[in-house]
Amino acid sequence: MKKSRYSEEQIVRVLQEVESGRSVAGVAREKGVTEATIYRWRQRYGGLSRSELSRLRELEQENTRLKRIVAQQAMDIDGLKELVRGKW
């Protein structure tokens, strides 16, 4: 996945500017992004505070770690099944 030019904190700040009454077009032009990008950010990060954002980041990291563990266990199980069948 491509790394974003903006950190999540910066994205939340941009969304707060829009929520405070500034136009989406004006904020987009100032920040150098498209209006569609701001709407996409609003879908993902809309209504999040900084503490919620850090919790979301922690949960995403934990989810990634758990997926890696499950994938490793699935590989181990496949290897053990092959060993039991005697096809090694």
Domain definitions of the chain by residue range? 1-48, 60-88
Whether the CB-CB separation of 34 and 45 falls below 8 Å is answered with: no
Q: What is the pLDDT of residues 57-81, one digit of tens each?
A: 899 999 999 999 999 999 999 999 9
Q: What is the pLDDT of residues 8-38, one digit of tens each?
A: 888 988 999 999 999 999 999 999 999 999 9
Please list the alpha-helical segments (H only) found in 20-49: 24-31, 35-45
In this structure, whether the domain defined by 1-48 belongs to CATH 1.10.10 is answered with: yes
Tokens, residue 21: 């009454």
Q: Report DSSP letters for 42-59, one per residue.
A: HHHHTT--HHHHHHHHHH
User: Measured between alpha carbons, how far is 59 from 63 in angstroms, rounded to an integer?
Assistant: 6
